[in-house]
């Protein structure tokens, strides 16, 4: 197989993975939820998985001189999926302070990033890739002109590059919006706290009253924060284009403990904006 052939195979499997994730979400939650990190209808981790297991099994087979048994293919896929998912999850969280999947509620999970049951599913997927998808792709490749595969590969690379650029741009904008909102709110926290507690200007006095009337003051402060987000953050979100908003809606959650509340609130505004645009 040529490099172009692997690129097309990657795209097809990424799309199939996106379909699987979307259907699974509908079955599990009862509603449609577009899955994946990128804006387009692909989940690259599936394409990487299929191409990766194909190359690994082929390399091992060439090295040992005999085809691997089915259970060996399963184990390679099982542990390979863990080696792929864990660092992917880790680096996405480090870069964007967000995560796109969470296995915390799945038995035998590791930090919510990987789990034995999901790895077993990927192990079965590896068997499907080696004994089903790969042989079928070889037949299809033989029936398609080489120039068509070359053109498709170039088009796929361009589209995914544009898609990735849009997605990263959206998440970077989101990071800036949350950071600016967090900074602005903290800068006004003393003033807001004083207003909440009856117009006292001294922050220490405000905190004393907050401690005495924690429930009442806390509710009022939450209302002030909501108002702040609507008046200062909402306009920035409204300036985002549709591609950026859809990319943000795919985020499963946010991990920065210092800004988790602010991030969740901004995420609510993003979802609200997306509904208004429909």
pTM over 0.75: no
Higher pLDDT among residues 150 and 215, named by residue: 150
196 has a pLDDT exceeding 60: no
Residues 6+ apart with CB under 8 A from 114: 81, 82, 85, 86, 89, 103
Interval 61-114: pLDDT, tens = 999 888 899 999 999 999 999 998 899 888 877 777 777 778 988 999 998 899
Least confident of 52-61, 99-108, 120-129: 99-108
Q: How confident is the model at residue 155 (pLDDT cuts 50, 70, 90)?
A: very high
Q: How high does pLDDT run on average in the chain?
A: 77
Interval 218-253: pLDDT, tens = 566 566 666 766 676 677 666 666 655 666 666 666
Considering only CA atoms, which of 75, 167, 166 is closest in space to residue 122?
Answer: 75
pLDDT of residue 158: 92
Considering only CA atoms, which of 86, 187, 78 is closest in space to residue 124?
Answer: 78
pLDDT of residue 44: 86
pLDDT of residue 257: 47
The rounded percent of the chain whose pLDDT value lies above 70 is: 58
Hey, how many other C-beta atoms are within 10 angstroms of the C-beta on 146? 11
Distance in angstroms (rounded) separating the CA atoms of residues 256 and 13: 32
**What b/e readout covers 197-222, taking b as 16+ CB neighbours within 10 angstroms?**
beebeeeeebbebbeeeeeebeebbe
């Amino acid at each position: 197989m040529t490099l172009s052939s692997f690129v097309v195979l990657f795209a097809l499997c990424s799309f199939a993975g996106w379909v699987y994730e979307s259907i699974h979400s509908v079955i599990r939650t009862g509603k449609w939820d577009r899955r994946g990190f990128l804006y387009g209808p692909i989940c690259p981790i599936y394409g990487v998985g299929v191409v990766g297991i194909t190359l690994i099994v082929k390399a091992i087979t060439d090295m040992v001189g005999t085809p691997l048994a089915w259970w060996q293919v399963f184990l390679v896929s099982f542990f390979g999926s863990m080696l792929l998912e864990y660092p992917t999850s880790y680096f996405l969280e480090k870069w964007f302070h967000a995560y796109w999947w969470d296995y915390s509620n799945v038995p035998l999970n590791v930090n919510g990033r990987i789990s034995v049951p999901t790895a077993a599913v990927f192990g079965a997927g590896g068997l499907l890739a080696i004994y089903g998808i790969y042989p079928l792709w070889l037949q299809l490749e033989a029936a398609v002109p080489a120039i068509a595969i070359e053109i498709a590969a170039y088009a796929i690379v361009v589209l995914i590059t544009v898609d990735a650029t849009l997605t990263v741009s959206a998440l970077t904008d989101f990071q800036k919006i949350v950071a600016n909102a967090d900074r602005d709110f903290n800068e006004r926290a003393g003033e807001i706290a004083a207003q909440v507690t009856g117009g006292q200007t001294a922050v220490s006095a405000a905190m004393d009253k907050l401690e005495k009337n924690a429930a009442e003051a806390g509710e009022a402060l939450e209302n002030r924060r909501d108002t702040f987000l609507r008046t200062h953050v909402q306009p920035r979100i409204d300036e985002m284009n549709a591609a950026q908003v859809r990319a943000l809606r795919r985020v499963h959650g946010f991990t920065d403990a210092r800004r988790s509340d602010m991030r969740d609130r901004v995420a609510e505004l993003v979802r609200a904006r997306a509904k208004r645009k429909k």
